[in-house]
Structure 1
Amino acid sequence: MNTPTSLVIGIVFAPLGLVLLFTAAITPQWREGQARLGGANVGAGGARNAELLLLRSDGLWESCLQVAHSELRECWAVSGPYQDDPHVRSTRELVLASLFLCGTGILLACVGARCWTDTPLRNVAGVGGLLVALAGMLSLVAVAIYTHYLPDLGVELVSNMDDFRGLEAHRLPSLTLHPAGSLYFGWVGAWVQTVGGLALLYGVGRPKCPARPKQAHIGMVETPYEVSC
Protein backbone atom coordinates (compact mmCIF):
# COMPACT_ATOMS: atom_id res chain seq x y z
CA MET A 1 0.00 0.00 0.00
CA ASN A 2 1.50 3.32 -1.12
CA THR A 3 -1.17 5.62 0.37
CA PRO A 4 0.65 8.57 2.02
CA THR A 5 0.51 8.74 5.80
CA SER A 6 -1.02 12.23 5.63
CA LEU A 7 -4.01 10.89 3.70
CA VAL A 8 -4.51 8.13 6.27
CA ILE A 9 -4.34 10.68 9.10
CA GLY A 10 -6.86 12.87 7.27
CA ILE A 11 -9.45 10.14 6.80
CA VAL A 12 -9.12 9.29 10.52
CA PHE A 13 -9.34 12.84 11.87
CA ALA A 14 -12.15 14.01 9.60
CA PRO A 15 -14.79 11.49 10.83
CA LEU A 16 -13.67 12.08 14.42
CA GLY A 17 -14.26 15.80 14.03
CA LEU A 18 -17.64 15.12 12.43
CA VAL A 19 -18.73 12.94 15.36
CA LEU A 20 -17.63 15.54 17.91
CA LEU A 21 -19.42 18.37 16.13
CA PHE A 22 -22.58 16.30 15.65
CA THR A 23 -22.55 15.41 19.36
CA ALA A 24 -22.24 19.09 20.23
CA ALA A 25 -25.05 20.04 17.86
CA ILE A 26 -27.66 17.66 19.28
CA THR A 27 -26.91 18.10 23.00
CA PRO A 28 -28.41 20.97 25.05
CA GLN A 29 -25.32 22.03 26.98
CA TRP A 30 -23.87 24.90 24.97
CA ARG A 31 -24.40 27.14 27.99
CA GLU A 32 -25.58 26.44 31.50
CA GLY A 33 -26.19 28.14 34.81
CA GLN A 34 -27.92 27.67 38.13
CA ALA A 35 -30.19 29.67 40.40
CA ARG A 36 -31.49 29.16 43.91
CA LEU A 37 -35.21 29.42 44.39
CA GLY A 38 -36.68 30.03 47.84
CA GLY A 39 -39.46 27.88 49.35
CA ALA A 40 -41.59 26.16 46.73
CA ASN A 41 -44.33 23.55 46.71
CA VAL A 42 -43.18 20.44 44.86
CA GLY A 43 -45.08 17.27 44.05
CA ALA A 44 -48.64 16.19 44.53
CA GLY A 45 -48.38 16.38 48.31
CA GLY A 46 -47.35 20.03 48.19
CA ALA A 47 -44.25 19.43 50.32
CA ARG A 48 -42.46 22.67 51.21
CA ASN A 49 -38.74 22.97 50.51
CA ALA A 50 -36.70 25.71 52.12
CA GLU A 51 -34.54 26.19 49.02
CA LEU A 52 -34.16 24.59 45.61
CA LEU A 53 -31.26 24.68 43.20
CA LEU A 54 -32.40 24.89 39.58
CA LEU A 55 -30.04 23.97 36.75
CA ARG A 56 -30.65 25.60 33.38
CA SER A 57 -28.97 24.60 30.11
CA ASP A 58 -29.44 25.64 26.49
CA GLY A 59 -28.36 24.08 23.22
CA LEU A 60 -28.90 25.04 19.61
CA TRP A 61 -32.28 23.35 19.37
CA GLU A 62 -33.25 22.40 22.94
CA SER A 63 -33.34 23.89 26.43
CA CYS A 64 -33.59 22.04 29.73
CA LEU A 65 -34.49 22.87 33.33
CA GLN A 66 -33.74 20.51 36.20
CA VAL A 67 -33.96 20.48 39.97
CA ALA A 68 -30.55 19.53 41.36
CA HIS A 69 -30.29 16.16 43.12
CA SER A 70 -33.66 15.01 41.81
CA GLU A 71 -35.22 13.37 38.76
CA LEU A 72 -37.38 16.42 38.06
CA ARG A 73 -36.27 17.54 34.60
CA GLU A 74 -38.01 19.09 31.60
CA CYS A 75 -36.69 19.87 28.13
CA TRP A 76 -38.34 21.84 25.35
CA ALA A 77 -37.55 23.26 21.94
CA VAL A 78 -35.78 26.60 22.16
CA SER A 79 -38.18 29.51 22.01
CA GLY A 80 -38.58 33.20 22.68
CA PRO A 81 -35.72 35.70 22.45
CA TYR A 82 -33.08 32.95 22.54
CA GLN A 83 -34.51 31.22 19.48
CA ASP A 84 -34.90 34.51 17.60
CA ASP A 85 -31.43 35.78 18.41
CA PRO A 86 -29.54 36.28 15.11
CA HIS A 87 -26.32 34.90 16.60
CA VAL A 88 -28.02 31.65 17.61
CA ARG A 89 -29.57 31.33 14.15
CA SER A 90 -26.19 32.00 12.52
CA THR A 91 -24.55 29.36 14.69
CA ARG A 92 -27.18 26.77 13.75
CA GLU A 93 -26.85 27.48 10.04
CA LEU A 94 -23.06 27.34 10.11
CA VAL A 95 -23.06 24.08 12.07
CA LEU A 96 -25.48 22.44 9.62
CA ALA A 97 -23.41 23.62 6.66
CA SER A 98 -20.26 22.31 8.32
CA LEU A 99 -21.79 18.88 8.95
CA PHE A 100 -22.91 18.61 5.32
CA LEU A 101 -19.55 19.70 3.88
CA CYS A 102 -17.59 17.46 6.23
CA GLY A 103 -19.70 14.40 5.38
CA THR A 104 -19.29 15.03 1.64
CA GLY A 105 -15.56 15.62 2.06
CA ILE A 106 -15.11 12.38 3.98
CA LEU A 107 -16.77 10.37 1.20
CA LEU A 108 -14.52 11.94 -1.43
CA ALA A 109 -11.44 11.47 0.75
CA CYS A 110 -12.16 7.78 1.29
CA VAL A 111 -12.63 7.23 -2.44
CA GLY A 112 -9.49 9.21 -3.23
CA ALA A 113 -7.25 7.62 -0.62
CA ARG A 114 -8.13 4.11 -1.75
CA CYS A 115 -6.14 2.43 0.99
CA TRP A 116 -7.00 -0.95 -0.51
CA THR A 117 -4.98 -0.19 -3.66
CA ASP A 118 -1.47 1.03 -4.50
CA THR A 119 -2.50 4.12 -6.49
CA PRO A 120 -4.51 6.74 -4.54
CA LEU A 121 -6.54 9.29 -6.50
CA ARG A 122 -4.79 12.33 -5.09
CA ASN A 123 -6.96 14.93 -6.79
CA VAL A 124 -10.17 13.38 -5.48
CA ALA A 125 -8.70 13.12 -1.99
CA GLY A 126 -7.56 16.74 -2.28
CA VAL A 127 -11.08 17.95 -3.09
CA GLY A 128 -12.36 15.98 -0.09
CA GLY A 129 -9.68 17.54 2.09
CA LEU A 130 -10.63 21.01 0.88
CA LEU A 131 -14.27 20.42 1.83
CA VAL A 132 -13.31 19.04 5.25
CA ALA A 133 -10.99 21.98 5.92
CA LEU A 134 -13.74 24.41 4.88
CA ALA A 135 -16.16 22.58 7.19
CA GLY A 136 -13.68 22.99 10.03
CA MET A 137 -13.41 26.72 9.35
CA LEU A 138 -17.19 27.09 9.39
CA SER A 139 -17.35 25.19 12.69
CA LEU A 140 -14.72 27.47 14.20
CA VAL A 141 -16.66 30.54 13.11
CA ALA A 142 -19.89 29.08 14.52
CA VAL A 143 -18.51 28.29 17.99
CA ALA A 144 -16.60 31.58 18.05
CA ILE A 145 -19.80 33.56 17.36
CA TYR A 146 -21.72 31.68 20.07
CA THR A 147 -18.89 32.03 22.60
CA HIS A 148 -18.43 35.74 21.95
CA TYR A 149 -22.12 36.63 22.23
CA LEU A 150 -23.03 34.07 24.92
CA PRO A 151 -23.48 36.67 27.73
CA ASP A 152 -25.88 38.68 25.54
CA LEU A 153 -28.11 35.81 24.38
CA GLY A 154 -31.68 35.91 25.66
CA VAL A 155 -33.14 33.55 28.26
CA GLU A 156 -36.63 32.12 27.96
CA LEU A 157 -37.95 30.64 31.23
CA VAL A 158 -40.80 28.24 30.59
CA SER A 159 -43.01 28.19 33.70
CA ASN A 160 -46.20 26.61 32.33
CA MET A 161 -44.96 23.02 32.43
CA ASP A 162 -46.87 20.77 34.80
CA ASP A 163 -43.82 19.53 36.70
CA PHE A 164 -42.57 23.06 37.38
CA ARG A 165 -45.76 24.94 38.18
CA GLY A 166 -45.13 24.63 41.91
CA LEU A 167 -41.64 26.07 41.56
CA GLU A 168 -42.77 29.49 40.30
CA ALA A 169 -39.89 29.38 37.81
CA HIS A 170 -40.97 32.70 36.32
CA ARG A 171 -39.76 34.34 39.56
CA LEU A 172 -36.22 33.11 39.19
CA PRO A 173 -33.50 35.64 40.07
CA SER A 174 -31.11 36.79 37.37
CA LEU A 175 -29.44 33.74 35.86
CA THR A 176 -25.77 33.89 34.86
CA LEU A 177 -25.01 31.40 32.11
CA HIS A 178 -21.53 30.23 31.15
CA PRO A 179 -20.02 27.91 28.50
CA ALA A 180 -20.80 24.23 28.97
CA GLY A 181 -19.67 20.83 27.71
CA SER A 182 -21.32 20.85 24.29
CA LEU A 183 -19.59 24.10 23.37
CA TYR A 184 -16.23 22.57 24.27
CA PHE A 185 -17.06 19.54 22.13
CA GLY A 186 -17.78 21.96 19.30
CA TRP A 187 -14.39 23.64 19.69
CA VAL A 188 -12.51 20.34 19.71
CA GLY A 189 -14.50 18.96 16.78
CA ALA A 190 -13.88 22.09 14.72
CA TRP A 191 -10.11 21.92 15.25
CA VAL A 192 -10.00 18.18 14.53
CA GLN A 193 -11.94 18.77 11.30
CA THR A 194 -9.52 21.48 10.25
CA VAL A 195 -6.45 19.35 10.99
CA GLY A 196 -7.96 16.41 9.08
CA GLY A 197 -8.71 18.55 6.05
CA LEU A 198 -5.23 20.09 6.01
CA ALA A 199 -3.67 16.62 6.32
CA LEU A 200 -5.59 15.48 3.25
CA LEU A 201 -4.48 18.56 1.32
CA TYR A 202 -0.89 18.00 2.40
CA GLY A 203 -1.04 14.44 1.07
CA VAL A 204 -1.88 15.73 -2.40
CA GLY A 205 1.41 17.63 -2.62
CA ARG A 206 3.61 14.78 -1.42
CA PRO A 207 5.95 13.06 -3.91
CA LYS A 208 4.28 10.53 -6.10
CA CYS A 209 4.37 6.92 -5.00
CA PRO A 210 7.43 5.15 -6.43
CA ALA A 211 6.70 2.58 -9.08
CA ARG A 212 7.35 -1.00 -8.11
CA PRO A 213 10.42 -2.48 -9.84
CA LYS A 214 9.66 -5.15 -12.38
CA GLN A 215 10.44 -8.55 -11.02
CA ALA A 216 12.87 -10.59 -13.06
CA HIS A 217 11.42 -13.79 -14.43
CA ILE A 218 12.92 -16.74 -12.65
CA GLY A 219 14.56 -19.27 -14.94
CA MET A 220 14.63 -16.92 -17.96
CA VAL A 221 18.40 -16.21 -17.88
CA GLU A 222 19.79 -15.83 -21.40
CA THR A 223 23.00 -17.71 -22.22
CA PRO A 224 25.08 -17.32 -25.40
CA TYR A 225 25.19 -20.22 -27.88
CA GLU A 226 26.72 -20.90 -31.28
CA VAL A 227 24.75 -21.23 -34.48
CA SER A 228 26.15 -23.37 -37.31
CA CYS A 229 25.14 -22.48 -40.84
Structure 2
Amino acid sequence: MMHTPASMVMGIVFAPLGLVLVFTAAITPQWREGQARLSMTGSLFRSSVKTQGMGSKSGSVESLLLLRTDGLWESCLQVEQSELKQCWPVAGPYQRDPRVRLAQGLILTSLFLCGTGIVLACIGVRCWTDLPLRGVAATGGLLVVMAGLLSLTALGVYTHNLGRLGMTDSSQAIINPRFPPLSLRAAGSLYFGWLGSCLQVLGGSALLFSFKRPRCPTCPSCPELAVCPACSSCPEVTNRPDTDVYEVSC
Protein backbone atom coordinates (compact mmCIF):
# COMPACT_ATOMS: atom_id res chain seq x y z
CA MET A 1 0.00 0.00 0.00
CA MET A 2 1.33 3.43 -0.94
CA HIS A 3 2.06 5.96 1.80
CA THR A 4 1.16 9.42 0.50
CA PRO A 5 4.04 11.83 1.19
CA ALA A 6 3.37 14.37 3.92
CA SER A 7 4.05 17.24 1.50
CA MET A 8 1.26 16.03 -0.80
CA VAL A 9 -1.17 15.65 2.11
CA MET A 10 -0.37 19.17 3.29
CA GLY A 11 -0.78 20.54 -0.22
CA ILE A 12 -4.13 18.91 -0.99
CA VAL A 13 -5.50 20.15 2.36
CA PHE A 14 -4.22 23.74 2.35
CA ALA A 15 -4.83 24.52 -1.32
CA PRO A 16 -8.62 23.88 -1.34
CA LEU A 17 -8.99 25.66 2.00
CA GLY A 18 -7.19 28.69 0.57
CA LEU A 19 -9.38 28.58 -2.54
CA VAL A 20 -12.56 28.62 -0.42
CA LEU A 21 -11.33 31.58 1.64
CA VAL A 22 -10.27 33.63 -1.40
CA PHE A 23 -13.55 32.85 -3.15
CA THR A 24 -15.47 33.90 -0.03
CA ALA A 25 -13.53 37.16 0.07
CA ALA A 26 -14.18 37.78 -3.62
CA ILE A 27 -17.97 37.48 -3.45
CA THR A 28 -18.52 39.37 -0.18
CA PRO A 29 -18.79 43.19 -0.09
CA GLN A 30 -16.69 43.76 3.04
CA TRP A 31 -13.35 44.75 1.52
CA ARG A 32 -13.55 48.19 3.08
CA GLU A 33 -16.03 49.78 5.44
CA GLY A 34 -16.77 53.19 6.85
CA GLN A 35 -19.17 54.97 9.16
CA ALA A 36 -20.85 58.34 8.87
CA ARG A 37 -23.38 60.03 11.11
CA LEU A 38 -26.29 61.59 9.23
CA SER A 39 -28.62 64.14 10.80
CA MET A 40 -32.31 63.21 10.86
CA THR A 41 -33.55 66.21 8.90
CA GLY A 42 -35.41 64.48 6.12
CA SER A 43 -38.98 63.31 6.64
CA LEU A 44 -38.35 60.22 4.53
CA PHE A 45 -35.54 59.01 6.78
CA ARG A 46 -37.55 59.86 9.88
CA SER A 47 -40.61 57.93 8.71
CA SER A 48 -38.48 54.95 7.63
CA VAL A 49 -36.79 54.77 11.00
CA LYS A 50 -40.11 54.97 12.82
CA THR A 51 -41.38 52.14 10.65
CA GLN A 52 -38.49 50.00 11.91
CA GLY A 53 -39.36 50.86 15.50
CA MET A 54 -36.33 53.01 16.23
CA GLY A 55 -38.08 56.26 17.05
CA SER A 56 -41.28 55.83 18.90
CA LYS A 57 -41.10 59.28 20.49
CA SER A 58 -40.85 62.50 18.54
CA GLY A 59 -37.30 63.82 18.52
CA SER A 60 -35.87 60.73 20.24
CA VAL A 61 -33.64 60.01 17.24
CA GLU A 62 -31.66 63.01 16.03
CA SER A 63 -29.06 61.26 13.86
CA LEU A 64 -28.37 58.00 12.11
CA LEU A 65 -25.13 56.05 11.95
CA LEU A 66 -24.66 54.77 8.40
CA LEU A 67 -22.44 51.76 7.71
CA ARG A 68 -21.02 51.63 4.18
CA THR A 69 -19.17 48.59 2.84
CA ASP A 70 -17.54 48.09 -0.57
CA GLY A 71 -16.34 44.92 -2.24
CA LEU A 72 -15.04 44.08 -5.68
CA TRP A 73 -18.46 43.62 -7.21
CA GLU A 74 -20.97 44.88 -4.66
CA SER A 75 -21.53 47.77 -2.25
CA CYS A 76 -23.92 47.97 0.68
CA LEU A 77 -25.36 50.68 2.91
CA GLN A 78 -26.97 49.90 6.25
CA VAL A 79 -28.40 51.88 9.13
CA GLU A 80 -26.90 50.70 12.39
CA GLN A 81 -29.20 48.78 14.73
CA SER A 82 -31.92 48.43 12.14
CA GLU A 83 -32.98 46.24 9.24
CA LEU A 84 -32.57 49.05 6.74
CA LYS A 85 -29.96 47.74 4.31
CA GLN A 86 -29.50 48.09 0.58
CA CYS A 87 -26.87 46.52 -1.70
CA TRP A 88 -26.11 47.27 -5.34
CA PRO A 89 -23.46 46.38 -7.94
CA VAL A 90 -20.44 48.65 -7.84
CA ALA A 91 -20.81 51.63 -10.12
CA GLY A 92 -19.47 55.09 -10.81
CA PRO A 93 -15.88 56.17 -10.17
CA TYR A 94 -15.27 53.22 -7.85
CA GLN A 95 -16.14 50.71 -10.57
CA ARG A 96 -14.05 52.56 -13.15
CA ASP A 97 -11.02 52.88 -10.88
CA PRO A 98 -8.14 51.01 -12.60
CA ARG A 99 -6.91 49.66 -9.27
CA VAL A 100 -10.30 48.08 -8.57
CA ARG A 101 -10.35 46.59 -12.08
CA LEU A 102 -6.82 45.28 -11.55
CA ALA A 103 -7.84 43.62 -8.28
CA GLN A 104 -10.87 42.05 -9.97
CA GLY A 105 -8.79 40.61 -12.79
CA LEU A 106 -6.09 39.28 -10.48
CA ILE A 107 -8.61 37.62 -8.16
CA LEU A 108 -10.46 35.95 -11.05
CA THR A 109 -7.18 34.70 -12.53
CA SER A 110 -6.09 33.48 -9.11
CA LEU A 111 -9.29 31.49 -8.61
CA PHE A 112 -8.94 29.87 -12.05
CA LEU A 113 -5.28 28.95 -11.53
CA CYS A 114 -5.89 27.60 -8.04
CA GLY A 115 -8.81 25.45 -9.20
CA THR A 116 -6.76 24.07 -12.08
CA GLY A 117 -3.81 23.42 -9.78
CA ILE A 118 -5.98 21.53 -7.29
CA VAL A 119 -7.34 19.30 -10.08
CA LEU A 120 -3.80 18.52 -11.26
CA ALA A 121 -2.68 17.86 -7.69
CA CYS A 122 -5.53 15.41 -7.13
CA ILE A 123 -4.64 13.59 -10.34
CA GLY A 124 -0.97 13.56 -9.39
CA VAL A 125 -1.46 12.19 -5.90
CA ARG A 126 -3.37 9.16 -7.22
CA CYS A 127 -4.19 7.59 -3.89
CA TRP A 128 -5.72 4.59 -5.69
CA THR A 129 -2.38 3.41 -7.12
CA ASP A 130 1.08 2.65 -5.77
CA LEU A 131 2.88 5.37 -7.69
CA PRO A 132 1.92 9.06 -7.50
CA LEU A 133 2.48 11.18 -10.58
CA ARG A 134 5.00 13.47 -8.93
CA GLY A 135 5.48 15.73 -11.91
CA VAL A 136 1.75 16.33 -12.31
CA ALA A 137 1.28 17.00 -8.58
CA ALA A 138 4.20 19.41 -8.54
CA THR A 139 2.86 21.24 -11.60
CA GLY A 140 -0.44 21.66 -9.78
CA GLY A 141 1.49 23.01 -6.81
CA LEU A 142 3.21 25.56 -9.04
CA LEU A 143 -0.16 26.80 -10.30
CA VAL A 144 -1.46 27.06 -6.73
CA VAL A 145 1.60 29.10 -5.71
CA MET A 146 1.07 31.42 -8.67
CA ALA A 147 -2.60 31.78 -7.69
CA GLY A 148 -1.63 32.71 -4.14
CA LEU A 149 0.86 35.30 -5.33
CA LEU A 150 -1.71 36.85 -7.68
CA SER A 151 -4.32 37.13 -4.93
CA LEU A 152 -1.70 38.60 -2.56
CA THR A 153 -0.87 41.19 -5.22
CA ALA A 154 -4.55 42.08 -5.63
CA LEU A 155 -5.02 42.41 -1.88
CA GLY A 156 -1.88 44.51 -1.55
CA VAL A 157 -2.92 46.92 -4.30
CA TYR A 158 -6.41 47.30 -2.83
CA THR A 159 -5.21 47.73 0.75
CA HIS A 160 -2.52 50.25 -0.20
CA ASN A 161 -5.05 52.43 -2.07
CA LEU A 162 -8.05 51.65 0.12
CA GLY A 163 -8.92 55.24 1.01
CA ARG A 164 -8.37 56.60 -2.50
CA LEU A 165 -10.35 54.10 -4.55
CA GLY A 166 -13.13 55.80 -6.50
CA MET A 167 -11.74 59.30 -5.98
CA THR A 168 -10.30 60.68 -9.18
CA ASP A 169 -9.36 64.06 -7.74
CA SER A 170 -9.39 65.99 -4.50
CA SER A 171 -12.58 67.85 -5.46
CA GLN A 172 -14.57 64.72 -4.62
CA ALA A 173 -13.48 65.00 -1.01
CA ILE A 174 -15.56 68.18 -0.48
CA ILE A 175 -17.79 67.72 2.52
CA ASN A 176 -21.42 67.30 1.58
CA PRO A 177 -23.71 68.30 4.47
CA ARG A 178 -26.41 65.86 3.31
CA PHE A 179 -24.02 62.89 3.05
CA PRO A 180 -20.81 63.37 5.02
CA PRO A 181 -17.62 61.56 3.90
CA LEU A 182 -16.83 58.15 5.37
CA SER A 183 -13.73 57.23 7.31
CA LEU A 184 -12.75 54.06 5.43
CA ARG A 185 -10.81 51.13 6.86
CA ALA A 186 -10.10 47.51 6.00
CA ALA A 187 -13.00 45.09 6.54
CA GLY A 188 -13.42 41.37 7.15
CA SER A 189 -13.25 40.15 3.56
CA LEU A 190 -9.70 41.44 3.23
CA TYR A 191 -8.60 39.30 6.18
CA PHE A 192 -10.25 36.24 4.65
CA GLY A 193 -8.38 36.98 1.44
CA TRP A 194 -5.02 37.39 3.17
CA LEU A 195 -5.44 34.13 5.07
CA GLY A 196 -6.61 32.23 2.00
CA SER A 197 -3.75 33.55 -0.13
CA CYS A 198 -1.17 32.52 2.46
CA LEU A 199 -2.70 29.04 2.63
CA GLN A 200 -2.51 28.80 -1.15
CA VAL A 201 1.18 29.66 -1.14
CA LEU A 202 1.88 27.17 1.67
CA GLY A 203 -0.14 24.40 0.02
CA GLY A 204 1.39 24.97 -3.39
CA SER A 205 4.89 25.07 -1.95
CA ALA A 206 4.26 21.75 -0.21
CA LEU A 207 3.13 20.22 -3.49
CA LEU A 208 6.28 21.49 -5.16
CA PHE A 209 8.28 19.11 -2.97
CA SER A 210 6.64 16.33 -5.00
CA PHE A 211 9.42 16.81 -7.55
CA LYS A 212 11.79 15.17 -5.06
CA ARG A 213 11.98 11.44 -5.68
CA PRO A 214 12.51 8.92 -2.88
CA ARG A 215 15.89 7.25 -2.50
CA CYS A 216 16.25 3.62 -3.40
CA PRO A 217 17.29 1.32 -0.55
CA THR A 218 20.82 -0.03 -0.56
CA CYS A 219 21.88 -3.61 -0.07
CA PRO A 220 23.57 -4.17 3.31
CA SER A 221 26.04 -6.56 1.67
CA CYS A 222 26.94 -4.10 -1.10
CA PRO A 223 26.27 -0.55 0.15
CA GLU A 224 27.63 0.95 -3.04
CA LEU A 225 24.90 -0.69 -5.12
CA ALA A 226 21.30 0.53 -5.15
CA VAL A 227 18.69 -2.16 -4.82
CA CYS A 228 15.57 -2.03 -6.95
CA PRO A 229 12.52 -3.72 -5.38
CA ALA A 230 11.90 -5.49 -8.65
CA CYS A 231 15.29 -7.16 -8.32
CA SER A 232 15.70 -10.09 -5.89
CA SER A 233 19.50 -10.08 -5.86
CA CYS A 234 19.61 -8.87 -2.26
CA PRO A 235 17.81 -11.20 0.15
CA GLU A 236 18.74 -8.99 3.10
CA VAL A 237 16.37 -6.34 1.74
CA THR A 238 13.69 -8.24 -0.13
CA ASN A 239 13.13 -10.88 2.56
CA ARG A 240 12.66 -8.49 5.49
CA PRO A 241 9.01 -8.80 6.61
CA ASP A 242 8.81 -5.20 7.82
CA THR A 243 10.10 -3.71 4.55
CA ASP A 244 7.59 -2.02 2.31
CA VAL A 245 8.20 -2.73 -1.36
CA TYR A 246 7.58 0.02 -3.90
CA GLU A 247 8.12 0.14 -7.62
CA VAL A 248 10.03 3.40 -7.96
CA SER A 249 12.30 4.62 -10.69
CA CYS A 250 15.50 6.17 -9.37
- TM tier relative to shorter chain: 0.7 to 0.9
1:96 counterpart = 2:88: no
Call closer, same or farther: CA 1:59–1:170 in 2, change over 3 Å: farther
The TM-score, its normalising length taken from structure 2, stands at 0.76
- Equivalents in 2 of 1:121, 1:209: separation in Å? 17
Q: Which amino acid aligns with 1:39?
A: M
1:177 counterpart = 2:184: yes
- Equivalents in 2 of 1:39, 1:190: separation in Å? 43
Q: How many residues align?
A: 203
Would the aligned equivalents of 1:2 and 1:209 in 2 still touch at CA under 8 Å? no
> What's the counterpart of residue 10 of structure 2?
9
Q: How does 1:80-229 map to 2 (within 5 A)?
A: 80-154=92-166, 171-207=178-214, 211=229
Deviations 1:68-97 (A, max 9, x none): 000000000000110000000000000000
Dislocated runs of 4+, deviation >3 Å: 43-49, 208-216
Would the aligned equivalents of 1:5 and 1:203 in 2 still touch at CA under 8 Å? no
Would the aligned equivalents of 1:3 and 1:119 in 2 still touch at CA under 8 Å? no
- Equivalents in 1 of 2:115, 2:17: separation in Å? 11
Would the aligned equivalents of 1:122 and 1:203 in 2 still touch at CA under 8 Å? yes
The DSSP-based 3-state class of the residue aligned with 1:120 is: coil
- Equivalents in 2 of 1:128, 1:151: separation in Å? 36
The TM-score, its normalising length taken from structure 1, stands at 0.82
> What's the counterpart of residue 19 of structure 1?
20
Deviations 1:14-60 (A, max 9, x none): 00000000000000000001000011433367876311000000000
- Equivalents in 2 of 1:138, 1:130: separation in Å? 12
The DSSP-based 3-state class of the residue aligned with 1:178 is: strand
Would the aligned equivalents of 2:135 and 2:210 in 1 still touch at CA under 8 Å? no
Extract unaligned runs of 5+ from structure 2: 168-175, 218-228, 231-236, 241-250
Would the aligned equivalents of 1:32 and 1:177 in 2 still touch at CA under 8 Å? yes
Call closer, same or farther: CA 1:205–1:170 in 2, change over 3 Å: farther
- Equivalents in 2 of 1:209, 1:68: separation in Å? 66
The DSSP-based 3-state class of the residue aligned with 2:181 is: coil
Higher relative contact order (CA closer than 8 Å, sequence separation 6+): 1
Call closer, same or farther: CA 1:208–1:122 in 2, change over 3 Å: farther
Q: Which amino acid aligns with 1:153?
A: L
What fraction of aligned residue pairs are identical, expressed as a percent?
Answer: 62
> What's the counterpart of residue 30 of structure 1?
31
- Equivalents in 2 of 1:193, 1:133: separation in Å? 6
The correspondence for 2:66, drawn from 54, 59, 62, is 54
